[in-house]
Structures are given as C-alpha cells and as structure tokens.
Amino acid sequence: MQRRASGRTVGGMRALLLQAPAVSLLLVWMLIPLGMTLWFSFQRYNLLNPMISGFAGWNNYTFLLTDPALWIAIGNTLLMVCWVLGITVIGGVLLAVLFHQEFFGRGIARLLVISPFFIMPTVSALVWKNMMMHPVNGIFAWLFKLAGLQPIDWFSSYPLTSIVIIVSWEWLPFALLILLTAIQSLDDDQIEAARMDGAGPLAIFWFITLPHLKRAISVVVMIEMIFLLTIFAEIFVTTSGGPGLASTTLAYLIYLRALLDFNIGIASAGGVIAIILANLVAIFLIRTVARNLET
C-alpha cells in the first residue's frame, strides 16, 4: 500500500512539473494585464497632461458610476446582446431544420449561408454601411423606392437596430453550424416512429427536435454572449457610438475614455467594471450549460 501511494505521489508530482510551465505562462498572460488594469484604475493618469498623476483612490470608479453615459452604455450592451441572441438562436434553429432536409444544391447553399462568419467584422460593417444601408445608394434604399416608400437613414434613425442587424448577420452562421451539427446526431428512427404514430412536422419539431437541441442552444448562447459583450469594430466603422450615445456600448465607452479623452485611469476603471460584468454573465451561463448537460 505504501509503494502504491508513493508511486501515485511521484506520478502526480511529475504531472504537476510537466504542467507547471504552461500553467505559469497562462497565469502570467492573464494576471499581468489584469494587474496593470487594476493599478491604473486607482491612478490619475492622463495622456495629455503628465502633471496629473498620483493615487486617485475610488475617484475614478465614483466618476464612472455617477456618469449617466455608463448606464446608457450598459443598457445598450445588454439590449444588443439580447436581441442578437434571440435572432441568431431562433434563426439558427429554423435554418438548421431547413438545411437538414434534402434538396437540390444543398451543399452550395450551406457554403453560402455560413460564409458571413468568415468575413472580418470591419469588412462586414463597411459592406453593410456602404452597400446595404446607405440612404441613397444602398440596396435597402432601392427596395424602399421600388415599394414607393421613403428610404431610411438607418445609422441616424435606428443606430442600435442597425448594429443588431449587422452583428446578427455575422453570428447567425455560427449558430447554424453548431445547431446543424447537433440536429444531424438526432436518431432518424425516433422521428420515423413519431411519424408512424401520427405526429405532424410541427409536433416532431416541438417535442423531439427542439428538446434534442437544448444543449447545443445553451452552448451557442454561452459562446456568443461572451463575444458579444466586446463588440467594437461594427460600432466604430458605422455609427461611432452615435448619434449621441444611442449606439455606445460598454466596450466602445472604454475606447472613448481611453483614446479620445486620453484618461487612462477612468478607462481602466471601466475595464474593471466590464470584467466584473463579463464574469457575472459567464458564471450564470456556465451554470446554465452545466445544468442542461446533466439532464
């Protein structure tokens, strides 16, 4: 028993020694930026005025938490995330069911429908800004004119809605890929048995397909929400957070404070708040996914 115990101990120590370099590098990679952000969030640090320096205490956080722009940005962020998740999950489920069926040209159609996911955010934002939503030369304006309607200046009249449309177009293929992979693992015998019992397409979708996709939907929601909290390029290219603060998210507000106001202290405090918000969301989502995996 002693030899076995000592053997296990030696094996465990060897495993720890082999893992130590990678774990140490990962900790350094994570802790140094986090530590610097925390440090600067308690400092007076302005890039335009080096004379403003020293320990600021909680002043940066107090300024941010009493700034209405922060709460508007958080509200815009949550609103955008919820709308994009709803569109991509519902659209992804419907498209997954559609592309699971046999039809002519299905391979080419699948390739085309997932292609937006491989386009860089800056490029897709430029395409939507200049080719789709342009109030004079855009495709939407042309369609409105054909229908006898007045074209809409999307980025001035509906800035946050425009961002939601662009981001949903980018992330819908991702949801489709995950959900289509999940639906292909559904047992065909189960569906055939339901059809023999008289179940129609809607009943099969509601009672068989949708419960089968529950885990995949949870994974899609978790991954997308973490990335959607950091959306920046689409806003920078199209609306620049405006008009006013109508399309300013938390990530873009941090950019405004850091690189336009040159106030690194307040921007770092905003970064800490963003980290706390992202971790709260991640904890909630991980628990939700774990609960679905257990069922």
Q: Is the pLDDT of residue 2 over 50?
A: no
Identify the pLDDT of residue 233.
Answer: 92
How far is CA 155 from each of CA 35, 128, 140, 225, rounded to the nearest angstrom? 38, 11, 13, 23
Which pLDDT belongs to residue 292?
Answer: 62
What is the C-alpha separation between 269 and 197, in angstroms, rounded? 61
Q: What distance in Å separates the CA atoms of residue 134 and residue 136, rounded to the nearest whole number?
A: 6
Question: With 80 as the cut, is the pLDDT of residue 294 above it?
Answer: no
Q: What is the pTM of this model?
A: 0.86
Q: So where are the chain's domains?
A: 1-41, 58-294
Reported confidence tier of residue 290, pLDDT bands at 50, 70, 90 = low
Q: Do residues 257 and 263 make contact, with C-beta atoms less than 8 angstroms apart? A: yes
How high is the pLDDT of residue 248? 94
Annotate the chain with DSSP letters as a single string: -HHHHHHHHHHHHHHHHHHHHHHHHHHHHHHHHHHHHHHHHTB--BSS-TT--SB-TTHHHHHHHT-HHHHHHHHHHHHHHHHHHHHHHHHHHHHHHHHTS--TTHHHHHHHHHGGGGS-HHHHHHHIIIIIS-TTTSHHHHHHHHTT-----HHHHSHHHHHHHHHHHHHHHHHHHHHHHHHHTS-HHHHHHHHHTT--HHHHIIIIIHHHTHHHHHHHHHHHHHHHTT--HHHHHHTTT-STTTT--HHHHHHIIIIIS-BHHHHHHHHHHHHHHHHHHHHHHHHHHHHHHH-
For residue 285, name the pLDDT band (cuts at 50, 70, 90).
Answer: confident
pLDDT per position as a tens digit, 96-111: 999 988 888 888 988 8
The 10s digit of each residue's pLDDT in 41-91 is 998 888 888 787 888 889 989 999 999 999 999 999 999 999 999 999 999
Distance (Å, whole) CA 210 – CA 217: 9
183 with 213: CB under 8 angstroms?
yes
Q: Are 159 and 252 in contact (CB under 8 A)?
A: no
First-to-final CA distance of the chain:
39
Model confidence pLDDT, tens digit, residues 164-206? 999 999 999 999 999 999 998 888 778 888 888 787 888 888 8
- List, for residues 239-275, the tens digit of each pLDDT value: 999 898 999 999 999 999 888 888 889 999 999 999 8
**Cα 93 from Cα 13, distance rounded (Å):** 47
The whole-number average pLDDT for the span 28-45 is 88
Say which residue, 13 or 122, is predicted with more confidence: 122
CA distance 286 to 290: 6
Q: How far apart are alpha carbons 227 and 223 in whole angstroms? A: 7
Q: Which CATH superfamily does the domain covering 58-294 fall into?
A: MetI-like (1.10.3720.10)
Q: How far apart are CA 175 and CA 223, in angstroms?
A: 10
pLDDT band at 289 (very low <50, low <70, confident <90, very high): low
Place of tokens 């990530």: 251
Stretch 105-118: mean pLDDT: 87
Work out the pLDDT band at 280, boundaries 50, 70, 90: confident
Check pLDDT > 80 for residue 287.
no
